[in-house]
Chain A
Amino acid sequence: MSSSCPSSLRGEDSRRRQRATAGDEALASRRGKVNFARVKRLALAAVILASQFVLLEAAIRWHGGSEVAPAFQALFTRDPEIGHRLQPGASARFTTVEFSTDLRINAQGVRDDEDIGPKAPGERRIVVLGDSLVLSVQVPLVQTFCERLEARLNAAASGVRWRVINAGVQGYGPVQEWFFFDRVAAAFEPDVVLVVVFVGNDAIEAHDTRAWLDAGRPLSSAQPAIGRLREILRSSVVLQIVRLRWDLLRSKLATAAPERPLASYLAEPPPEVMSGVAVTRQAIEKIDGRARAVGARTGIVLMPARFQTDDADHRALSATVARAGGELVRDAATERLRDGLAPLELPTLDLLPVLARQPDRTGLFFQRNVHLTPRGHDVVAGALLQFLQDAAFVER
């Protein structure tokens, strides 16, 4: 075709092609510049976001004020025989909007200002096992029910010096309480062992660790890759907060199941609740056996959740559970654990009626966390003294 065209037209065509090519190049160059500018902007945004991430990580670590803060996390250490425990000799100040507490862990790894040595003549000891509701980082040591109980026992007794050892550890369930008693607290030469069962989540936690009970030690359930991912997540305070946000978001979706601990209160509980009650019974049976071996007697204390005594809290949680299609039965968890532990035939104190008959029930627990206030600790200490006397653990 081109050979039949006049030369002037061929020239024009060629110039047009050249212009088109030049235009394409300019367009491509412009596109390239646009793309490069976009990449530069994205890179700038990424650098700024990463810098702010590092800055926030450092700021939160420095400021603390949350359980995920390293200052608080430094109170804990891993233990292959138990899972985790309090770091012997650690100390920290834990501050939130509601409280500011100085915490000290003694050389034996329990919350106490004094170390635990051999028993002195005339000394009698009570070891209190449990989770965060026993540890009570929200109040000064002297205001915990363990310390208050010790003071009351010593005020009432003559010729005997009582020592009440707070062996509670944040995050423990019945199985870890058994491990801790077996490996650590049995050596404290107790005369009485009190197992404080938090009815809110102990059954579910026991179910989750049932394989540990059979194995006699903690097991790692995560795959290596997931484990590494968790390591990274746990090493960053910012990422831990993001994870908490994600959990909250999921729990807010109407289709989400109620929070797992609430499963113990459902009218129709999932199978893991009753399985957890059975595991709790087995763990306490082991604690009791070991306690007998060191010459101690065991008692059980059932600790209710805040909403079981706080009406407003109960209404809010009932509505949450109802939205998810469930029915919350206020005292179901207490009843299930009480019935489930009855075959052990151990003296048992249910704190629910004691707390429920207090005049100002909303003042027994903090409002922004589910732990006892100083007044709540005082009420519990009084109930424990009565229980110890009634069950002949101590003389009147």
Chain B
Amino acid sequence: MVFNSIHFVAFFVVAYALYRALPHRAQNWMLVAASYYFYAAWDWRFLGLLAGSTVVDFFVARYLWRATDPGRRRWALVGSLAFNLGMLGFFKYFNFFEESLAALFATLGWQLDFVTLNVLLPIGISFYTFMTISYVIDVYRGDIQPADNFIDFALFVAYFPHLVAGPILRASLLLPQIARPRTIHRTQVVEGLWLVGWGYFQKMFVADNLARLVDTVFGPSATPTGLDVLVATYAFAFQIYGDFAGYSNIARGVSKLMGIELNVNFLFPYFVTSPQEFWRNWHISLSTWLRDYLYIPLGGNRGGERRTNRNLMITMALGGLWHGAAWTFVLWGVYQGLVLVIARRIARLGGARGWRVPAGLTWPRVLLGLVMFHVTCYGWLVFRAESVAQLAEFSRLLVTDLRPSASTVGSLLVPCVLTIAPLLAVHIHQARRGSELAPLAAPLPWRYAVYGAVFYLVLLFGDFEGAQFIYFQF
């Protein structure tokens, strides 16, 4: 079940009516049942994984809290990590490693018969396993107490707004909200409705329309010029943003309607001037997870420049692999790691020479923002490429064949600009006030104009075919 389907709308109307009518404990029971139904609507066979992960980590965390022997605690933690990462590794990466190893041996002239399993990827597995892993580690570190109530914990893991595409929530944020009775304020309802509407706009108008343009260039029968590739890469940058930020906003909005606050997952990531800033604003829940549970445990920036660079590369390469079982994702992670390493180097050199970027909307900042946007866009080309061969070919075209084709302007550039312009118009206003809720505080005529534009653009030009969200595959 996807957020942009009639099925979800009907599901949410029924679930919300029940939610408003029930007392607190019954609300939690009902939300667990609704979340399992939500997941089963995609494929009921994988409910066992979700339930298994919930049961194992609920009891492991309680054991970790009670146990005092450090050795036993460590083994319990390792057991939980092995279970979660093993599950993730098998379902997400088995086919990838099996095919990659077979290909490697084939290049050496050895034909090996590996066990061939057509392993299906359970939707959302990367998100909920990361949540349960962070929960167990937080309890192990003594940062949080384990959940007392199994239903509360089951809801934390399976809560339907975040279940299949995040945000990756921390137990310290969500569990207390689940455990105590919730009151729904009028402000939350207004903000929730705006976030849901804005999320649908980002997904159905921006992302889905740009997807059509992008697919014509990245498709198997396309013969684009370098300029086509450039425009399609710009389009993909906004497609993936609209797709994922749209999903996150719908998740946040739906939660607000139920009196539950989720964390902000995207904060104007294309209005930044450095890679570090980009990762503080893009998929915030994943980047902070990688920082807290991978980069810092690896040593972080302690231990000198070389070790810091190594830690960055490992973190970003694994972050890339988290996005999908393909070499292009690994390459994308390595690229992001390199960009961070180079940016740190430049920042250090610039700091030594007294370079400073003036604050506010100044030309140096705008230029730096444009450079950063293009650095990010090349990353998206790596990310979107169908294969390493296509990436190499498109990279070559960008350098050697930057001319328009017959369809560049009419079929690519104009639709791309018309799709992105309304998003940017609202975005600039939001970014200047630092919040996606900024339109709610605008003068009445402007507010109504934004509501009207969002309504019309989704109704007239949105994709109503229920296209999948890109991040479901992660």
A98 within 8 A of B: yes
- Chain A binder among B52-60, B341-349, B447-455: B447-455
Q: Is the CB of B407 within 8 A of A100?
A: yes
Q: Is the CB of A95 within 8 A of B410?
A: yes
Number of residues on chain B facing chain A (CB within 8 A): 24
Knowing A44-B444, A253-B6, the reply to whether A100 touches B410 (Cβ < 8 A) is: yes
A245 within 8 A of B: yes
- Chain B binder among A47-55, A156-164, A384-392: A47-55
Knowing A95-B410, A97-B212, A97-B411, the reply to whether A245 touches B464 (Cβ < 8 A) is: yes
A41 within 8 A of B: yes
Residue of A nearest to B418 (CB): A63
Alpha-carbon distance between A279 and B360 when the two chains are bound, in angstroms: 73
A184 within 8 A of B: no
Alpha-carbon distance between A98 and B412 when the two chains are bound, in angstroms: 10
Shortest CB-to-CB span from B263 to chain A, Å, is 32
Chain A contact residues, majority secondary structure: helix
Shortest CB-to-CB span from A65 to chain B, Å, is 8
CB contact between B460 and one of A41, A98, A241, A252 (< 8 Å): that residue:
A241
Q: Is the CB of A97 within 8 A of B6?
A: no
Binary per-residue interface labels of chain B (440-470) against chain A in the complex, 1 for a CB within 8 Å, 0 otherwise = 0000110011011101100110001010000
Alpha-carbon distance between A95 and B407 when the two chains are bound, in angstroms: 10
Chain B contact residues, majority secondary structure: helix
Alpha-carbon distance between A370 and B114 when the two chains are bound, in angstroms: 43
Q: Is the CB of B456 within 8 A of A252?
A: no
Knowing A44-B445, A53-B456, A363-B221, the reply to whether A98 touches B6 (Cβ < 8 A) is: no
Alpha-carbon distance between A100 and B6 when the two chains are bound, in angstroms: 33
Alpha-carbon distance between A152 and B165 when the two chains are bound, in angstroms: 55
Q: Is the CB of A44 within 8 A of B410?
A: no
B415 within 8 A of A: yes
Alpha-carbon distance between A60 and B461 when the two chains are bound, in angstroms: 11
B216 within 8 A of A: yes
Q: Is the CB of A97 within 8 A of B459?
A: no
Q: Is the CB of B212 within 8 A of A44?
A: no
Alpha-carbon distance between A245 and B462 when the two chains are bound, in angstroms: 10
List residues of chain B with CB within 8 A of the CB of A248: 464
Q: Is the CB of B460 within 8 A of A52?
A: no
A-B contact number at CB 8 A: 55
Binary per-residue interface labels of chain A (56-97) against chain B in the complex, 1 for a CB within 8 Å, 0 otherwise = 100010010000000000000000000000000000000111
Q: Is the CB of B449 within 8 A of A48?
A: yes
Alpha-carbon distance between A56 and B221 when the two chains are bound, in angstroms: 34
List residues of chain A with CB within 8 A of the CB of B406: 100
Shortest CB-to-CB span from B254 to chain A, Å, is 21
Knowing A95-B411, A98-B216, the reply to whether A48 touches B460 (Cβ < 8 A) is: no
Alpha-carbon distance between A63 and B407 when the two chains are bound, in angstroms: 16
A128 within 8 A of B: no
B213 within 8 A of A: yes
Shortest CB-to-CB span from A219 to chain B, Å, is 33
List residues of chain B with CB within 8 A of the CB of A142: none
A215 within 8 A of B: no
CB contact between B448 and one of A44, A98, A245 (< 8 Å): that residue:
A44
Alpha-carbon distance between A48 and B451 when the two chains are bound, in angstroms: 10
List residues of chain B with CB within 8 A of the CB of A253: 6
List residues of chain B with CB within 8 A of the CB of A52: 449, 452-453, 456
Q: Is the CB of A41 within 8 A of B213?
A: no
Q: Is the CB of B6 within 8 A of A252?
A: yes
A187 within 8 A of B: no
Residue of B nearest to A99 (CB): B411
Q: Is the CB of B445 within 8 A of A97?
A: no
Alpha-carbon distance between A100 and B453 when the two chains are bound, in angstroms: 28
List residues of chain A with CB within 8 A of the CB of B221: 363
Give B209-248 interface residues, CB cut-off 8 Å to A. 212-213, 216, 221
Chain A residues proximal to chain B, CB less than 8 Å: 41, 44-45, 48-49, 52-53, 56, 60, 63, 95-98, 100, 238, 241-242, 245, 248-249, 252-253, 363, 368
For the complex of A and B, the 7 pairs showing the least CB-CB separation, nearest first, are A48-B448, A52-B452, A241-B460, A49-B452, A45-B448, A252-B6, A48-B452
